Amino acid sequence: MVKALILAGGFGKRLQPLTIDRPKPLVEVGGKPILQWQIEWLRAQGIRDIVLAVGYLRTRVFEVMGDGSKFGVRLFYSVEEEPLGTGGAIKNASKFLEDDVFVVLNGDVITNLRIEPLINSLGGGVIASVALVPMRSPYGVVNVDGEGFIREFREKPLLEHLINAGVYAFTREIMNYLPDKGDIEVTAFPKLASERRIKGVVYRDVYWKSVDTVKDVEEVEGVIKNVFPG
C-alpha cells in the first residue's frame, strides 16, 4: 500500500487553551489524540508507513507517538524549522515520499472516508485528487412558504456546495508544482485545475469533521464512538 503524510505542524490558535502545551493534532477527542484516530484509520486501510510533518511543539509529538510501533505502523518525521504552509510542508517531506503515489491529509481531520477512490482517480494525466464532502450549514435553516408561514426547521443541514476535505492522493509529479513555502490550495491546485490535471472525488455518505475549535472537539466527542466502533 502507499505511504501517507499527515500535516501535523499546526499551532491551533482557535483551540486554545487546549493547544498551549501541545500541537493541534495532539488534542484529545474521545480519549485519543486526533493523530491516533488518523493513524488507526489509515492502518485499517492497509497503510503502515506514515510520515508526520511536524513543527510547533514537535518534541511533544515525538514523545506521544514514538516510532509508531504501539499503533502497528512505522512513523517517520519531517521537521519544519519554520511554518512552510501545506505546499511547503509536502515538498519538505519529499525525501520520505519516494513512491509513485502517496496520500496526504491535514492533521485536524476526523473522517471514515475510503482512500482507494482517490488513488483510483489518478492517471491519464491526472496527478492530484481531492476528497470533497458536502458543506454542512453552521446554522439551522428555516423554510418559509409564499405566505410567510414557516413550513420547516432543519438543524444544520448539508448544503449543495462541496468543500475540500483535506484528504488527497498525489503522484510524485506533484513535487514539480509545490512551492518552497506556501499553501497548496492557493499555489498548486489552481494551476493544476487550469491544466485539467486535478480531480475531485465526492463523498456523500461518510463522516467528516475538521477539528478547529473547542466546540468542534465537543461535537466530535459526542459521535466518534459511533463513527469508529470498537
pLDDT per residue rounded down to tens, the chain (230 residues): 799 999 998 777 888 888 888 899 999 998 999 999 999 999 999 999 999 999 988 999 999 999 999 999 999 999 999 999 999 999 999 999 999 999 999 999 999 999 999 999 999 999 999 999 999 888 899 999 999 889 999 988 888 899 999 999 999 999 999 999 999 999 999 999 999 999 999 999 999 999 989 889 988 988 887 787 65
Q: Which cell numbers in the block locate residue 18?
A: 487546549
The verdict on residue 73 lying in a domain is yes
The verdict on residue 41 lying in a domain is yes
CA separation for the pair 152, 191 (Å, rounded): 42
pLDDT attached to residue 115: 97
CA separation for the pair 79, 186 (Å, rounded): 22
Range of the domain at 39: 3-134+161-227
For the chain, the straight-line distance linking the first and the last C-alpha, in angstroms and rounded, comes to: 24
Contacts (Cβ under 8 Å, ≥6 apart) of 75: 39, 50, 51, 52, 65, 66, 67, 68
Q: Is 156 a catalytic residue?
A: yes
The verdict on residue 193 lying in a domain is yes
The verdict on residue 146 lying in a domain is no
Contact 70, 141 (CB under 8 A): no
The verdict on residue 51 lying in a domain is yes
pLDDT attached to residue 223: 86
The verdict on residue 153 lying in a domain is no
Among all chains, which residue has been given the C-alpha cell 463513527?
Answer: 227
Q: How many domains does the chain have?
A: 1
pLDDT attached to residue 181: 95
Buried b (16+ CB within 10 A) or exposed e, 23-57: bbbbbebbeebbbbbbbebbbeeebebbbbbbbbb
The verdict on residue 18 lying in a domain is yes
Q: Find the catalytic residue in 156, 191, 215, 225.
A: 156
The verdict on residue 142 lying in a domain is no
For residue 172, give the CATH number of its domain. 3.90.550.10
Strand partners, 53: 7, 78
> 21-64: per-residue pLDDT in tens?
889 999 999 899 999 999 999 999 999 999 999 998 899 999 99
